[in-house]
Amino acid sequence: MRTVIFDLDGTLADTSGDLLEAANVCFRGLGHGDVLTTETDRGTAVRGARAMLTQGFERLGQPFDQSDIDRQFPILLEAYGGDISSRTTIYPGAREAVSRLRDAGYKVGICTNKPEGLAEQLMTALEFRDAFDSLVGADTFPVRKPDPLPFIQAVKRAGGDPARAVLVGDTQTDRDTSTNAGAPSILVTFGPGAFDVASLKPEALMDHFDDLDQIVARLIA
């Protein structure tokens, strides 16, 4: 069965606003106020909690080490879980594209480096979870992307064949995951990473979800 697996943050949805707010909860708790902004740090947000905390501490210009990150990490996750979707938006055309794939007989799933519980919570809050046949998160298995196992298992859990699957993502991690799995990748050009995804040489680039059907059909005929 042909299968399309999607990354979540920066691919299906712009989650940067809620992620950055959760990080700023940490910095406010330390007496610094809001340190990160959506104008400057959206790309950092989709790289995860530890990347945001590191960026914030670096911006403060004060000495810090890994223990400071480790102390704030659970605080950030708790804050994010408490306000996970109020600033998050699904990218234009994503819902319709996933629906078209399903109608055409594809299996669809999610493979994200967001913790599985938070990913389930977010997709449910966005009323989008039921559109997907599988969801694999950062902690579903002992390894995470770019290890190929989460992608392969997302395909299998969706009822698909890893030999006839494609990964849609937005970062180097997604590109490396697809390479490690021996699968083609489609990288979106509208994610918040603010870098040239074409330089990663994916099998295809996608400017809008309206283009997904044709691209997928070409890559996994």
Q: How many CA atoms lie within 13 A of 26 on its CB side?
A: 26
- Please give the mean pLDDT across all residues of the chain: 96
User: With left for phi above 0 and alpha for psi between -120 and 50, is residue 35 left, alpha or beta?
Assistant: alpha
Residues with a catalytic annotation lie at: 7
Record the tokens describing residue 64, joined without a space. 């810090």
- Distances in Å between the alpha carbon of 22 and those of 48, 84, 90, 217? 11, 9, 19, 39
**Block residue for tokens 């390894």:** 143
Q: Give residue 212's identity as a one-letter amino acid code.
A: L
- Per-residue pLDDT at 195 exceeds 80: no
Q: Is the dihedral of CA 15, 17, 22, 23 positive or negative?
A: positive
Predicted local distance difference test score (pLDDT) of residue 149: 98
Record the tokens describing residue 207, joined without a space. 């400017």
Question: For 6-62, what is each residue's pLDDT tens digit?
Answer: 999 999 999 999 999 999 999 999 999 999 999 999 989 988 899 999 999 999 998
| DSSP class of 209 | G
C-alpha dihedral, 171 to 184 to 176 to 138, nearest 10°: 70
Predicted local distance difference test score (pLDDT) of residue 196: 84
Question: For 82-129, what is each residue's pLDDT tens digit?
Answer: 999 999 999 999 999 999 999 999 999 999 999 999 999 999 999 999
Question: For 117-154, what is each residue's pLDDT tens digit?
Answer: 999 999 999 999 999 999 999 999 999 999 999 999 99
Q: What angle do CA 27, 54, 201 make, to 5 degrees?
A: 135
- Per-residue pLDDT at 193 exceeds 70: no
Residues 91 and 158: their CA atoms lie apart, in Å, by 22
Predicted local distance difference test score (pLDDT) of residue 82: 97
Record the tokens describing residue 116, joined without a space. 């599985």
Predicted local distance difference test score (pLDDT) of residue 194: 53
Average pLDDT (70-81) is 97
